[in-house]
Homo-oligomer: A and B are copies of this chain.
Amino acid sequence: LANLSEYDKISGMRIKLLGSSAGGGFPQWNCSCTNCRSLRKGELVGKPRSQSQVALSSDSKSWILLNASPDLRSQIESNSELQPSTTLEQTRHTPITSVILTNADLDHVLGLLLMRESQPIHVYATKSVRKILIEDNSMFKMLDQKQGQVTWTDLASEKSFEISGLVCTPYSIDAKYPIYVGSERAKELSPTEAVQALVIEDPKTKKRMAYLPGIAALDEDEMRNLNGGQGRTAREMGHIPMSGPKGSIELLSTLGPKLKKVFTHINNTNPVLNENGPEFKRVHDAGLTLGHDGMVFDL
């Protein structure tokens, strides 16, 4: 991890995790599982986590968001790089230039509705995801109150594009739309436009990062038990469980041993959140990193 005081020396790509929890955050508003309960009591050896949010920069001045979390307001206030400039004359400003949406999940798109106040913003999404937002949800008209406020650019699988000095390539990884879209509407949408993974390269250094939301979710089948026997398993939630055959630990530890692999979008009931527990140790022993809010990587 880079030292934040060395910020101005960075010439490559900076990646910052503003949030690292699955939808609902940790603790979750209506949850008193072992994790949430002991975190609220101050007894957990572990960290609270806001909802999954990644920010990227290639120049330390402008930032790209990967998805837009419902916790974006507090995430911006917790990370001064993302706050308005204090040296400019103008009173309205943001260093956030664009948002790339990987799908239409609520915990990935609600933050767009917090980025109003007539601020120009460039949003990259597949045609289908854009349709879900602006045709099926009238609230997104608030992004378009002023001419030139929102600019939409279509994402298409395997079509690379330049963004703020970086090159981004989306890859379709799942044909599943969020539940709220409904099966009838989903039939009108392209199956390759539901969920994208992103590979982002810095052309100056040739360094790359891959962002695989949903696929790399870190969950345990044990969640069903923690959840009073009534919860869904990781696979039922569309996540990959962490442990077991074809779990994400096994999959990731065999993949490119020189790669740095970071888990994010971690469910609040996952025992890995207890940093004194065996599950946390297992992740560490497999050479993987458990993401947390505020974590920074420089490539």
Contact = CB atoms under 8 A, between A and B. Distances in A.
A240 B249 CA distance: 57
Given A70-B113, A83-B40, A180 B29 contact: no
Interface string A115-155: 11101000000000000100011111110010000000000
Contacts of A29: 72-73, 76-77, 83-84, 94, 114-115, 117
A255 interface: no
B31 A138 contact: no
Contact of A139 (B28, B36, B137): B137
Given A119-B30, A228-B92, A185 B25 contact: no
A80 B93 CA distance: 35
A88 interface: yes
Contacts of A74: 71, 74
A243 interface: no
Contact of A141 (B86, B93, B182): B182
Copies assembled: 2
A2 interface: no
A227 interface: yes
B30 A92 contact: yes
Nearest to A104: B139
A24 interface: yes
Nearest to A232: B118
A138 B180 contact: yes
A84 B117 contact: no
Interface residues of A, number: 60
A1 interface: no
Nearest to A142: B180
A85 interface: yes
30 contacts: A23-B116, A28-B117, A29-B72, A29-B77, A30-B93, A30-B117, A30-B119, A31-B84, A32-B86, A32-B90, A36-B84, A37-B86, A40-B80, A40-B83, A41-B86, A48-B77, A70-B73, A70-B113, A74-B74, A89-B228, A91-B226, A91-B228, A92-B228, A92-B230, A110-B113, A137-B138, A137-B139, A138-B185, A141-B179, A142-B180
Given A36-B84, A92-B228, A106-B113, 10 more contacts: A30-B115, A32-B83, A32-B93, A71-B74, A91-B227, A91-B228, A92-B227, A106-B116, A106-B142, A136-B137
